[in-house]
């Protein structure tokens, strides 16, 4: 019996021994395997990097990312940040070799005392190993592998390399990976400028980004920050005075800075989206979201906010009084004509509702805003602002038969200047016939219109769809001495290493002559001064400027494109599904106030300068009554009610006349003692060569003598006007006399 018991005991002991041996072998084999695996995994890899978009002053404005991270070298991290991190996370970082036995024993003891895990013993190297290769799941296998990787990392990399990798990899909460993104996100400053209290807060959130989030748990975050500050003082990183000063600082995480960094601020959504679309089209989504690109743009934050507010407030004003306008949309483009750089871009009333960028993606009929392109083509063909268009009351022959456009302001004859100022549809239609469809579309393309334009007579009224970006850029040619600059938002793109990988080279081409550009600006200045754009003056915009309104059939689209020598701005309003904006919703009513609102802010502080006539442009004094070169006698004439009612008391081509600035206009039935002459611009050699036959021409009226005495005594009343019943001598062949505005002032019946 005893023998049997002894044998059983021996067998049990043997089984236990061999089981333990087997377990030891398996554990050793497993440990060896983990160590071998650790050797393979002990690599510091690259992490996804945020693409940072900078504004025109090289300040970060937006980011595109999978993880909000921007790697920086260790020398661009504040020493306070390193001190704070090591004080709370790994005091013996520079003395251990990946594992800290002292900390492991202390953590184990405290956890045993509490009966649960309250403290970890991981070093920064171990945390980096977990960030690089492992999951956060707590298992013995993972801890063993973590320890092995940490030891291998210490063998392969220097302490500085490990610290650099950790600071750029660790998560700081609120979507910020790495110290640079966290510093900019929480405090609106680079990591190199962190102060002790700011560095302590970032170090505090590392342990539990959600538990110590300054936005979600400010009290806990403050207590943890103060603990880090005390540890910094205990380790000699802060003096008593520095410690007390840091304690007194409030928890100052800048949510506004964070929202600006990730593009969720109240302004700039449309600009950001257009930049994103262009970057992805050029580099691909993978590189844009993970490649750490540095994108330099023409973005002007202040101008962008002013643009968005101008569009939104105008829509609100209209929608409050007209329920039909509740779906009204608007867009705006502002660019520098000399460079083509887009300063502000608004694609709709609310980016949060839709990211559709109407300024670049939507093609709408521009209405009369297209007319300056036709007029520019006419000037290129030799016409002048004072050239007369005749027979405007006669139908135009088209492929579909005779056509006579209607309009608010029509007469039988107009000069180009007057026709553009009052936006005559018939004058534009006839001018299109004279210039031709081919030449018109040719110059439209040269000015920057890429959209297809139909070769139909109604093109004169702006029936070809274009984008706001295209049309605004086209007007920029007139403000840039005839040179067309391709509009662009992105200036340069650098790689993650800071080396340039792409730069914008704007195409610069002579679209029209400097003479044409100057004369177009001269005529378009009249539109703002005394034409359909006078609402800009009424709204308080004072700088010399030029521009043109555009309204489409049934008031479905309202445009205004206007410019100073330094900024071109276009605005558009309409419904996504074309419908009337409002009853008699002319652009002068709908669009001009928003343009003026924006331009007052965007050009604040600009000098009231204007364009200088090119060398091949001359100023010639013309008599309003005859359209010929004025004599001295013309200067002493009178202007009667007809001219005042026609709005011809303002001198053409002067961008800032006194009457538009607040002086009182004479009553319509009151003659004014204003000269009947005006100055207009011509390319040298194209101005009228004949002198005025009414005030100073002897050959027409049979008078003689010098200019001062050549005024006929018969037919011209004491008020300086040709009498309505005056009949010239029988020998004359005079049919009618028209002014440069195209209105007949005297007709032989």
What does the pLDDT look like over 531-556, one tens digit per residue?
Answer: 999 999 999 999 999 999 999 999 99
3-12, 132-141, 373-382 — which one is most confidently predicted on average? Answer: 373-382
State yes or no: is 368 an active-site residue: yes
Contacts (Cβ under 8 Å, ≥6 apart) of 659:
530, 649, 650, 665
The first and second tokens of residue 140, run together, are: 């013995």
- Which CATH fold would you assign to the domain 333-602? Beta-lactamase (3.40.710)
Residue 623 has pLDDT above 90, yes or no: no
Contacts (Cβ under 8 Å, ≥6 apart) of 382:
686
Residue 319 has pLDDT above 80, yes or no: yes
Residue 36 has pLDDT above 80, yes or no: no
Lowest-pLDDT range of 487-496, 559-568, 675-684: 675-684
Lowest-pLDDT range of 70-74, 119-123, 397-401: 119-123
Residue 691 has pLDDT above 90, yes or no: no
Q: What percent of the chain has pLDDT over 70?
A: 77
> In this structure, are residues 341 and 314 in contact, taking their beta carbons and an 8 Å threshold?
no
Average pLDDT over residues 293-300: 97
State yes or no: is 122 an active-site residue: no
pLDDT for position 114: 63
pLDDT for position 717: 38
Cα separation, 123 vs 707, whole angstroms: 102
On whether the 51-261 domain is CATH 2.40.30.10, my answer is no
Q: Which residue has the higher pLDDT, 151 or 464?
A: 464
In DSSP notation, 91-126 reads: TTTTTSSS--HHHHHHHHHHHHHHTS-------HHH
pLDDT for position 467: 98
Reported as a pLDDT band with limits 50, 70 and 90, residue 326 is: confident
Residue 565 has pLDDT above 80, yes or no: yes
- Ranges of beta strands (E only) in 347-395 are 388-389
The first and second tokens of residue 416, run together, are: 């180009």
pLDDT for position 295: 98
279-293, 616-630, 635-649 — which one is most confidently predicted on average? Answer: 279-293
Q: How big is the chain, counted in residues?
A: 749
Average pLDDT over residues 460-464: 95
pLDDT for position 135: 58
**Catalytic-labelled residue, pool 34, 89, 132, 308:** 89
For the chain, the average pLDDT equals 82
Average pLDDT over residues 654-676: 43
> In this structure, are residues 342 and 488 in contact, taking their beta carbons and an 8 Å threshold?
yes
Burial 630-641 (b: 16+ CB within 10 A, else e): bbebbeebbbbe
pLDDT for position 281: 96
Lowest-pLDDT range of 326-340, 395-409, 432-446, 477-491: 395-409
Residue 557 has pLDDT above 80, yes or no: yes
pLDDT for position 709: 36
Residue 449 has pLDDT above 60, yes or no: yes
pLDDT for position 253: 61
Residue 680 has pLDDT above 80, yes or no: yes
Q: Which residue has the higher pLDDT, 323 or 42?
A: 323
pLDDT for position 107: 63
**Count of CB atoms situated within 10 Å of the CB of 119:** 13
In DSSP notation, 308-336 reads: HHHHHHHHHHHHHH-GGGTT-EEEEEEE-
Residue 477 has pLDDT above 60, yes or no: yes
Average pLDDT over residues 718-742: 42
Helix (H) or strand (E) holding 736: strand 736-738
Residue 669 has pLDDT above 90, yes or no: no
Residue 139 has pLDDT above 90, yes or no: no
Average pLDDT over residues 460-484: 97
Partnered with residue 398 across adjacent β-strands are 401
SS3 552: coil
Average pLDDT over residues 295-311: 97
**Residue of 313, 369, 302 lying closest to 596 (CA atoms):** 313
137-141, 207-211, 573-577 — which one is most confidently predicted on average? Answer: 573-577
**Catalytic-labelled residue, pool 298, 339, 362, 368:** 368
pLDDT for position 112: 64
- Residue ranges of domains in the chain: 51-261, 333-602, 615-749
SS3 579: coil
Q: Which residue has the higher pLDDT, 252 or 287?
A: 287
pTM of the entire predicted model: 0.78
Average pLDDT over residues 494-517: 93
pLDDT for position 637: 62
Reported as a pLDDT band with limits 50, 70 and 90, residue 745 is: very low
pLDDT for position 732: 40
């Amino acid at each position: 019996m005893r023998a049997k018991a002894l044998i059983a005991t021996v067998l049990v002991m043997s089984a236990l021994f061999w089981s333990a041996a087997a377990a030891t072998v398996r554990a050793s084999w497993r440990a060896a395997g983990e160590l071998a695996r650790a050797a393979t995994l002990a690599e510091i890899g690259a992490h996804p990097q945020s693409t940072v978009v900078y504004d025109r002053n090289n300040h970060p404005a937006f980011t595109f990312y999978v993880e909000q991270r921007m790697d920086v070298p260790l020398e661009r991290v504040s020493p306070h940040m390193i001190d704070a991190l090591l004080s709370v996370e790994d005091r013996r970082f520079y003395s251990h070799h990946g594992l800290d036995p002292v900390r492991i024993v202390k953590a184990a003891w405290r956890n045993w005392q509490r009966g649960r895990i309250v403290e970890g013993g991981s070093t920064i190297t171990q945390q980096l190993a977990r960030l690089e290769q492992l999951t956060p799941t707590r298992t013995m296998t993972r801890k063993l592998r973590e320890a092995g990787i940490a030891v291998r990392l210490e063998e392969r990399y220097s302490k500085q390399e490990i610290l650099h990798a950790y600071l750029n990899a660790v998560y700081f909460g609120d979507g910020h990976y790495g110290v640079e993104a966290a510093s900019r996100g929480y405090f609106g400053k680079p990591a190199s400028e962190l102060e002790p209290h700011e560095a302590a807060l970032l170090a505090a959130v590392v342990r539990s980004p959600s538990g110590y989030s300054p936005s979600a748990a400010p009290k806990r975050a403050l207590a943890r920050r103060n603990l880090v500050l005390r540890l910094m003082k205990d380790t000699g990183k802060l003096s008593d005075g520095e410690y007390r000063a840091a304690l007194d600082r409030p928890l100052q995480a800048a949510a506004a800075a964070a929202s600006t960094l990730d593009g969720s601020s109240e302004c700039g959504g449309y600009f950001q989206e257009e930049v994103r679309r262009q970057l992805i089209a050029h580099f691909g989504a993978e590189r844009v979201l993970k490649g750490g690109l540095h994108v330099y743009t023409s973005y002007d934050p202040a101008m962008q906010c002013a643009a968005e507010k101008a569009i939104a407030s105008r829509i609100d004003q209209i929608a409050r009084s007209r329920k039909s306008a509740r779906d009204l949309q608007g867009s705006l483009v502002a660019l520098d004509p000399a460079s083509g750089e887009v300063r502000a871009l608004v694609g709709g009333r609310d980016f949060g509702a839709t990211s559709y960028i109407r300024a670049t993606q939507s093609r709408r009929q521009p209405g009369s805003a297209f007319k300056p392109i036709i007029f520019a083509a006419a000037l290129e063909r030799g016409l002048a602002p004072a050239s007369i268009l005749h027979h405007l009351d006669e139908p135009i022959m088209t492929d579909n038969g005779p056509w006579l456009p209607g309009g608010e302001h029509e007469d039988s004859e107009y000069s180009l200047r007057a026709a553009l100022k009052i936006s005559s549809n018939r004058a534009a239609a006839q001018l299109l016939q004279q210039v031709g469809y081919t030449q018109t579309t040719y110059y439209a393309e040269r000015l920057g219109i890429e959209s297809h334009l139909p070769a139909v007579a109604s093109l004169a009224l702006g029936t070809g769809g274009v984008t706001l970006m295209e049309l605004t850029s086209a007007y920029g040619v007139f403000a840039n001495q005839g040179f067309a600059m391709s509009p662009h938002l992105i200036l340069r793109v650098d790689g993650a290493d800071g080396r340039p990988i792409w730069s914008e080279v704007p195409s610069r081409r002579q679209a029209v002559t400097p003479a044409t550009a100057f004369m177009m600006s001269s005529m378009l200045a009249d539109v703002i001064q005394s034409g359909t754009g006078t609402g800009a003056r009424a709204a308080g915009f004072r700088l010399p400027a030029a521009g043109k309104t555009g309204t489409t059939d049934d008031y479905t689209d309202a445009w205004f494109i206007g410019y100073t020598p330094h900024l071109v701005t276009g605005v558009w309003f309409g419904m996504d599904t074309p419908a009337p904006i409002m009853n008699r919703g002319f652009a002068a009513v709908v669009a001009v106030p928003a343009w003026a609102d924006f331009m007052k802010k965007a050009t604040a502080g600009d000098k009231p300068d204007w364009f200088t006539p090119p060398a091949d442009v001359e100023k010639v004094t013309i008599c309003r009554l005859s359209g010929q070169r004025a004599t001295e006698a013309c200067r002493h004439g009178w202007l009667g009610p007809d001219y005042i009612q026609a709005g011809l008391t303002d001198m053409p081509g002067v961008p800032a006349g006194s009457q538009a600035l607040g002086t009182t206009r004479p009553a319509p039935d009151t003659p004014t003692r204003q000269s009947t002459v005006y100055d207009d611009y011509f390319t040298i050699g194209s101005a009228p060569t004949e002198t005025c036959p009414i005030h100073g021409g002897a050959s027409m009226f049979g008078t003689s003598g010098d200019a001062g005495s050549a005024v006929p005594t018969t037919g011209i009343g004491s008020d300086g006007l040709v009498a309505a019943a005056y009949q010239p001598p029988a020998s004359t062949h005079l049919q009618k006399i028209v002014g440069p505005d195209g209105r007949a002032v005297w007709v032989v019946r």
